Structure 1
Amino acid sequence: MIGVDRVLGVLVALPPALVLALVFLLPALEASTFLGLFVPGEIAVLVGGVVAHSGRLPLWAVIAAAVAGAVLGDQAGYLVGRRYGRRLLARTPRRFVRSGELRRALDLVRHRGAVAVLIGRWAAALRALVPGIAGLSGMPRATFTVANVAGGVLWSVTVAVLGFLAGASYRLLERRLGLGGEAVLAVLVVLVTVRLWRHRRATRRTAPPRRG
C-alpha cells in the first residue's frame, strides 16, 4: 500500500474544507473503484477527526461526510459487482489473489452473508472487495443496504472519534513535552499505523479459515 506516513503528512497539511472532501471521497472510492486495495479510507477519516479536535472542522461534519462516502461508495460497489462482478474479479491485482485476500472475501460472503458486510468494513482489502462480491453472489439489495448503512455508520463514528481522541492526546503531548508540530505528526503516523494493523489483525481472526 502507499506509505501511510506520506498520505497522513499530506492530509494533515490540507485546508479543512479539502480534508472534509477527502473524508467523503476516500471511503466512497474504496469499493466503487477498488481504491481501498491501495489506500485505506480510514486514513482520511482519522485525520478528519484530528482536524476536528483542532477546531478547524466540526466533528459531526466529519462523521456525516464519512458515513455518506462509506455508504454510497459501498452501494456503488455492490451494483458494480452485480453487473460486472466476474469480469472485475478476473482483473483483481495478482498480489491480492496470492495473499489470499480475494479468497477470504469470497469465503466471508459465502459463509456469513449480510454479516460479512459488517465484518468486512474493518479491513481495507475486505472493505474494497466485499461489496462487489456481495453483488456478484446475488445478495438481495435490501439486505445489503441495511447491513451497509449499519456498518457504515458504526465504522465512521468509531474511526472519526478515534481521530478526535488522538488529536486530544497529541495536543497534551505538545503542551507537556514541548513537542513541535513535526514531532506531533510523527506520533500521529505511528499511532494510526498501529491502529490500522490491529484492525486488520482482528479481522483475520474473525474471518472464516481459508480452505486448503
Structure 2
Amino acid sequence: MSGLVDQLLGVPGWVVLLVTGLVVFAEDALFVGFVLPGESVALLAGVAASLGHVPLGAVLAVVVLAAVAGDSVGYQVGRHLGPRVLRLPVLEKRRARLDDARSFLARRGGSAVFLGRWVAFFRAVIPALAGTARMPYPRFLAFNAAGGLAWGSVVVLAGYAAGASYAQVERGLGRWTALVVAAVLVLALLAWRIRAHRRSRG
C-alpha cells in the first residue's frame, strides 16, 4: 500500500484533484459505484493532503462538489430516461440489490438519498431512482447536498488523519459508516414513534 501512496505523490497535485473529482462524480452519475472506487479515491486524496501534496481545503471542496454534482446528474438521467435506466445491462446481475434500493427509497423518501450516500451500490443508483420516482428536485437536492457534505468530509478527513496508514482506515471505514447509518435509522424510528404517539393522544 505504501507503493500506491508513493505513486500518488509522484503525480502533480492538480492531477490528484482532477482524478479524484472525476472518479467521485462518475461513481454517482454513471451508475458504476460498484466498479469505480470513489470512496477509496477520496480517502487517498485525504492521505495526499496529510502528506502536504495537495491542500486539504481543495480536496474537501472537490470531493463534496463532485459528489453533489454527480448525484444531481444521476437524478436528471433517471428523471428524463425513466424506466429505461433500470434496464441497463450493467444492472441486470444486480437486480435483487436494485429492488432493495427501490424499496429503501420508497420507505425512507428523502432520507434515503442521505443514507444511501454511505453504501457504494446505493450511492450509484439512488439518485437515478429518485429521478425516476419523480421526487421533487429541491427535496432531492437538500438531502443530496447534506449527504455529499457529510460523506465527503468524513472520508477525506479519515484519510487525512490516517496519513500513510490508509489501508487500515479503508478496512475500518465500512464498519463505522454502517454503525453511523444504523444509529441514524434508530433515531429516525424513535422520532417517528414519538410523533405518532403524540398524534394519537391528541
TM bucket, shorter chain: 0.7 to 0.9
Specify whether residues 202 and 154 from structure 1 end up closer, same or farther in structure 2 by C-alpha distance, changes over 3 A only. closer
2:189 aligns with none
TM-score normalised by L of structure 1: 0.77
Structure 1 residue 109, shift from structure 2 partner: 0.8
1:176 aligns with none
1:174 aligns with none
Q: What are the within-5 Å matches in structure 2 for residues 1-212 of structure 1?
A: 11=8, 13-91=10-88, 92-97=90-95, 100-167=96-163, 170=164, 187-196=165-174, 198-199=176-177
AA in 2 matched with 1:148: N
Contact 1:19 1:44 in 2 (8 A): no
Specify whether residues 203 and 138 from structure 1 end up closer, same or farther in structure 2 by C-alpha distance, changes over 3 A only. same
Normalized per residue, the structure richer in helix is 2
Stretches of structure 1 lacking an aligned partner (at least 5 in a row): 171-186, 208-212
Contact 1:53 1:164 in 2 (8 A): yes
TM-score normalised by L of structure 2: 0.80
AA in 2 matched with 1:93: L
Structure 1 residue 111, shift from structure 2 partner: 0.5
CA deviation map 1:19-71 (0-9, x unaligned):
11122111111121112121231111111110001111111100000011001
AA in 1 matched with 2:147: G
Structure 1 residue 196, shift from structure 2 partner: 3.3
Contact 1:121 1:127 in 2 (8 A): yes
Structure 1 residue 7, shift from structure 2 partner: 8.0
AA in 1 matched with 2:120: A
RMSD of the TM alignment (CA)? Answer: 2.7
Count of aligned pairs = 184
Specify whether residues 85 and 37 from structure 1 end up closer, same or farther in structure 2 by C-alpha distance, changes over 3 A only. farther
AA in 2 matched with 1:124: A
CA deviation map 1:96-154 (0-9, x unaligned):
22xx3212210111011100000000011000000000000110011001111111111
Structure 1 residue 90, shift from structure 2 partner: 1.3
Contact 1:8 1:47 in 2 (8 A): yes
- SS in structure 1 opposite 2:93? helix
Contact 2:110 2:143 in 1 (8 A): yes
Identity of aligned residues (%): 33
Quote the Cα distance in structure 1 between the aligned partners of 2:142 and 2:3.
35
Contact 1:123 1:203 in 2 (8 A): no
